[in-house]
Structure 1
Amino acid sequence: MDQNSNNTEEEIVQRHRKEKKELQAKIQALKKTATKGDKKKKKEVSEEILKLETDQEKRHSDELSAFNAQNVNVNDVTATLDSISLEEAGKGSEEVKQCEGRVSKAQRRREKKAIELKERQQRISQQEADNKLGVRHLETKKIKQILKERNLKLNEIPSDGNW
């Protein structure tokens, strides 16, 4: 800490950024060590990652508060705290994205199927609306009207599927 007290605020912030990058690299290495099927190992790794991140954040905030206690210039302190809190907020949003990204394959498949079904229903209803104004529908309507005048009826015969 004695060495850190002689540093300027910019040097401390720069060192904190470097340490954050190193921690991210270490976290990635830890994540790769946890095999896909080993839930116990994954849990241990995630707990260790959380511990490392909280320790680093606490240490960084302690270092900054110690520096700020020695430093009289309040404006510089606010700027540093804002930049650090923005970086932490960005990291927090990345963690939220990672948690959201951990949806099971089956759940993703179900969601995708539901979306496709919804889109299909929309296309069908749109096509039906388009068909009511189409030439074929108007022609069928005229034919039915002519047949009705002659007391005849149009019988639709479903195909047997062989031809």
Structure 2
Amino acid sequence: MEDSQSEHQRMVRRHHREKKELQARIQSMKNAVPKSDRKRRKQLLLDVARLEAELEQKHQQELEKFQESFPDDSNLDSVTEDLAKMDLENQPPRLSRAQRRCERRAAIERARLERIAEAEREHLASFRHDEEEKLAAILEAKNLEMKDIPADGHCMYRAIQDQLVFSVTVESLRRRTADYLRKHVDDFLPFFSNPETGDAYSRNDFMSYCHDIMHSAAWGGQLELRALSHVLQTPIEVIQSDSPALLIGEEYTQKPLTLVYLRYSCNLGEHYNSVKPLEAGAVGGTAPRLL
């Protein structure tokens, strides 16, 4: 009995020491990464969450191994056995040692996943902040600022709608995009593929895709923007944070419509916003009126 208690105390003291050592190591890791180095700071968050989870799991496994080695030296078991002898109503059944181990392991795993998820959320928030800062600088050089568009699946079409100098519905833009793609299927089909598998679309798949453009909130991308530039006979400029601006429909001479592409701003995925002048004034250039 005394030997097992001494062993338990040594293990508890060692666990406490290892936790302090890990915290010192984490602090040293943090000090080694400059706060200005956002990329390394992001990775640091994930590394810290992994190290803490690994140590907690190691300690839990050692505790369980100790309890298995000294099954008759558990105060918790003694208390549980005494309670079991009492005639209490509406009490849940006593859990076995194996069930308690499973519950502890499940709790540790939940805590580990939550720490990793929190680190990833901070990681994403940092990416989002960086992206917004870069875009703000790019737009300021053009005397523009971002104009928020709802993230409802129609954002690309709503951003185009916002840039036009005449009234048009999102439904009309979607319908005209789908109609143009159907009429020029041979021009666009080679560039369409399944986003999950990478397999090329068949002609029937392409027609089904066009149907979804008209009748759902399917997201739009570069090929839909190219179709819209032909429909509107107007260039479309897409400003991005980490790449040069993309100009679609450069064969047209109208003033481009300007969209902002964001990779990290929306929890659901990629997103398009519109722009507006930093000072009051008209937005967008002259464009042909839709019939």
The verdict on a shared fold, with TM-score over 0.5 as the criterion, is: no
Q: TM-score, normalised by structure 2?
A: 0.26
Q: Which has the higher helix share?
A: 1
Bigger CA radius of gyration: 1
More relative contact order in 1 or in 2 (CA 8 Å, sep 6+)? Answer: 2
In terms of fraction of residues, the more strand-rich structure is 2
TM-score with structure 1 setting the length = 0.40
